[in-house]
Structure 1
């Protein structure tokens, strides 16, 4: 949609939501709302709850800017609702959203397409926790709920006692639990917008682990942009990020996370609605690429469409 066409539309920024990442979504949404207002768009905030269809109809929303993180927003459900209501929306469609939020499914697709990813095992609802414990003897590992973001529920475990506790912690948040090989290396991330890779960022948390607090506390993490890695590795992870988004069918903005040891990189996951807070990685990478925050938000908005 052109800028001129979009200026005639009533835009709803979908924020808040029902997931464990509600607080971050409010920050992402309000920052995006402010940028669009600054650019002169007709935009209102829609705090997503069980009455979303009525809210959209009552507000006369014609385009949705999705600023939701986690389940019930980043997992294809809101996208499916918008499809049924024939409201164009930003970001990935139903299928890509529902696959990318599921870390197990994402890694299975990575493996099929020969994108390197750490060795893993998993447990679906109804599977035996005891069997998973017996299979996971090669420690340390990282235990994650399959469908949470912002490192919520993640545990790095070094022994069987910690493993059992980590699995239980993850299972309390999501019936599907991922157990992944621990990669002792550097953390990189690459944002992708409309099929183009932004500068690579190296993430250096002062605590040593990029957890929720490190992500959202100003000064808790150093971000090295562009990442001080070899030119060859730099190019490879950018190419891998674009390929990861392509094989999952992502649209608009996304972010791909990597762990690296020397010149060996491993794809970890894809975020289909990257954060847009003061400490978020996509806006930082865009700035280095010469794109300021309002321009970035507008680029995401203008790509809004019905899934095709």
Structure 2
């Protein structure tokens, strides 16, 4: 790659997924930080003309700030591989695997990582009857940011009445009570553990609305839980084949100690908004937002 002051970076943002608005914010923040770091930056709202835009702009590196389907499920990564443009975050296979929550659960289990009881079920079957005794969670198997997540409480009057927007096949998981924890991995290093406090379920709104949640980093946890989160997140990152920055989410039932810690999912493209978790953990480790995005650009590559 050319020197930092000469390098041209294309920041991909927006796109057609359910997480478009969050991606626009992530892209805007990353583009501003990269300009402050001395890069030449062009911002591209990813659409049907993406290949033409990238061909015309001729960037040295693509900073992928897309979220959700098409942007972090291997689709855009495949385009960038075809164009031989180095890009941030994980490659085609790891991106596709991590977006498919059922496949992710299989990889976790094969790596000896703890996951909650779960199953795939037809949407219409879940509407008719409980697929497992409540409490449980129903979610799309290929979305992020808590899009389309239903929590069925123990005293629910009936099964989840899923909207028609949900896919025909959904993932059902045993609900783990307790605390929401998350750990960012940067290269070969797990950064920290954040404890996430939200009113009720850690929903899409809680994740991205101002004041929707409170993050405590480093989390006030027993030493064995902190060590386990750091270890599990790094092992998940490696087992899936991630590169660059990823973030793994956990639920911890503190009444059960280490046995109560379970992995939920690994996000290959964590949010990069003012309320996002990965930049907060990087800052806790002494790395500014500008230094973080610069590291990501310098780490960018095609498949390896």
Q: TM-score, normalised to structure 2's length?
A: 0.94
Indicate which of 37, 41, 44 corresponds to 2:42: 44
The answer (yes or no) to whether the contact 1:143–1:154 under 8 Å persists in 2 is yes
What is the rounded CA distance, in whole Å, between the counterparts of 2:274 and 2:10 in structure 1? 21
Deviates more, 1:59-68 or 1:277-286: 59-68
What is the rounded CA distance, in whole Å, between the counterparts of 2:4 and 2:166 in structure 1? 39
Q: What are the equivalent positions in structure 2 for 1:51-130 lying under 5 Å apart?
A: 51-123=49-121, 129-130=124-125
Aligned to 1:285: 281
The answer (yes or no) to whether the contact 2:123–2:167 under 8 Å persists in 1 is no
The answer (yes or no) to whether the contact 1:31–1:276 under 8 Å persists in 2 is yes
What is the rounded CA distance, in whole Å, between the counterparts of 2:91 and 2:158 in structure 1? 37
Q: Secondary structure at the match of 1:200?
A: strand
Aligned to 1:146: 141
Residues 161 and 7 (structure 1), Cα distance of their counterparts in 2 relative to 1, 3 Å cut: farther
Aligned to 2:132: 137
What is the rounded CA distance, in whole Å, between the counterparts of 2:53 and 2:32 in structure 1? 20
What is the rounded CA distance, in whole Å, between the counterparts of 2:168 and 2:4 in structure 1? 40
Q: Secondary structure at the match of 1:122?
A: strand
Residues 95 and 266 (structure 1), Cα distance of their counterparts in 2 relative to 1, 3 Å cut: same
The answer (yes or no) to whether the contact 1:122–1:176 under 8 Å persists in 2 is yes
- Alignment size in residue pairs: 299
Q: Does 1:260 align with 2:255?
A: no
Structure 1 residue 220 displacement after superposition: 2.3
What is the rounded CA distance, in whole Å, between the counterparts of 2:168 and 2:267 in structure 1? 20
The answer (yes or no) to whether the contact 1:22–1:69 under 8 Å persists in 2 is yes
The answer (yes or no) to whether the contact 1:97–1:272 under 8 Å persists in 2 is yes
The answer (yes or no) to whether the contact 2:123–2:169 under 8 Å persists in 1 is no
What is the rounded CA distance, in whole Å, between the counterparts of 2:266 and 2:41 in structure 1? 28
What is the rounded CA distance, in whole Å, between the counterparts of 2:106 and 2:129 in structure 1? 21
What is the rounded CA distance, in whole Å, between the counterparts of 1:63 and 1:33 in structure 2? 13
What is the rounded CA distance, in whole Å, between the counterparts of 1:155 and 1:144 in structure 2? 6
Superposed CA RMSD in Å reads 1.8
Structure 1 residue 57 displacement after superposition: 0.8
Indicate which of 213, 224, 227 corresponds to 1:235: 227
Residues 211 and 162 (structure 1), Cα distance of their counterparts in 2 relative to 1, 3 Å cut: farther
What is the rounded CA distance, in whole Å, between the counterparts of 2:66 and 2:126 in structure 1? 35
What is the rounded CA distance, in whole Å, between the counterparts of 1:173 and 1:129 in structure 2? 10
Aligned to 1:173: 166
Unaligned runs of 5+ in 2: none
Q: Does 1:270 align with 2:266?
A: yes
What is the rounded CA distance, in whole Å, between the counterparts of 2:267 and 2:293 in structure 1? 17
Residues 160 and 217 (structure 1), Cα distance of their counterparts in 2 relative to 1, 3 Å cut: closer
Aligned to 1:34: 32
Q: Secondary structure at the match of 2:159?
A: helix
Residues 162 and 213 (structure 1), Cα distance of their counterparts in 2 relative to 1, 3 Å cut: farther
What is the rounded CA distance, in whole Å, between the counterparts of 2:37 and 2:136 in structure 1? 46
Structure 1 residue 237 displacement after superposition: 0.8
Q: Does 1:297 align with 2:293?
A: yes
Structure 1 residue 89 displacement after superposition: 0.5
Structure 1 residue 110 displacement after superposition: 0.9
